[in-house]
Amino acid sequence: MGKVKKKKNWYEYLWIATILYLTLGLFNILFAWLGLLCFFIPLIMSFTKKDKAYCNKYCGRGQLLELVGTKFSRNKPMPKFLKTKWFRYGFLIFFLTMFVNMLYVTYLVFNETTGLKEVITLMWTFKVPWRFNELTNVTPWIAQFAFGFYSMMLTSTILGFITMALYKPRSWCVYCPMGTMTQGVCIIKDKIK
Ligand code: SF4
């Protein structure tokens, strides 16, 4: 008898949402705002659900890395230092610092200290001019936040794909700031219990 194929759940297709998000951002930077969902949903779930429910089931990025990694990963073990608490929490702190800096830049545009910069900053260093859509009718700080947030999302995606190719498909999940943060919440919750 042939194997019965298990019907997939809707959430197993969330990797499509990740591709859609990254693609839409290319055409209209304002779609970057949708990325806030990937920020708040895991946090809310870490407070309300058991374990790392978001990572285990609903993270489109994790699924995408898994999927692409089946073909394009060397499947080698990661260097040990990437798995240490020091690195994971250090990277989280670095990421959050960059996030706060991005909010500060948005604030400077909001109070008109500086003007809107239509650039995407990759790996927190490389500035790529980004003029794919007309932003004259958009409130500058709204567009500035979108540029900043999309820069972070693209940077983390690039890092995810690099570590996917070099090591195991979901190597990014080992030091993903969102994963470290939600795991931290779960640990604190357990301790309080
Ligand atoms: S660790 Fe990060 S990328 Fe991996 S599943 Fe969790 S939130 Fe998604």
The per-residue pLDDT for range 140-190, each reduced to its tens digit, is 999 999 999 999 999 999 999 999 999 999 999 999 999 999 999 988 888
Roughly what angle, to the nearest 10 degrees, separates helices 60-72 and 14-27? 100
**Where residue 1 falls among pLDDT bands split at 50, 70, 90?**
low
CA of 173 to the centre of ligand 1 (A): 5
Our mutation pick for probing the ligand 1 site, out of 12, 49, 52, 59, counting the most ligand atoms within 8 A of Cβ, is 59
Q: Whose CA is nearest to atom 6 of ligand 1?
A: 55
User: Does pLDDT of 2 surpass 60?
Assistant: no
Pocket of ligand 1 (CB under 6 A): 42, 55, 59, 61-62, 172-173, 176, 178-179
CA of 93 to the centre of ligand 1 (A): 17
Q: Which residues have CB under 8 Å from 33's CB, separation 6+?
A: 142, 145, 146, 149
Give the atom of ligand 1 at the shortest distance from the alpha carbon of 174: 1
Q: Which residues have CB under 8 Å from 93's CB, separation 6+?
A: none
Give the atom of ligand 1 at the shortest distance from the alpha carbon of 56: 5
Q: What is the pLDDT of residues 15-24, one digit of tens each?
A: 999 999 999 9
Residue 50: what pLDDT?
Answer: 73
Residue 72: what pLDDT?
Answer: 97
Rounded to whole angstroms, the Cα distance separating 180 from 92 reads: 7
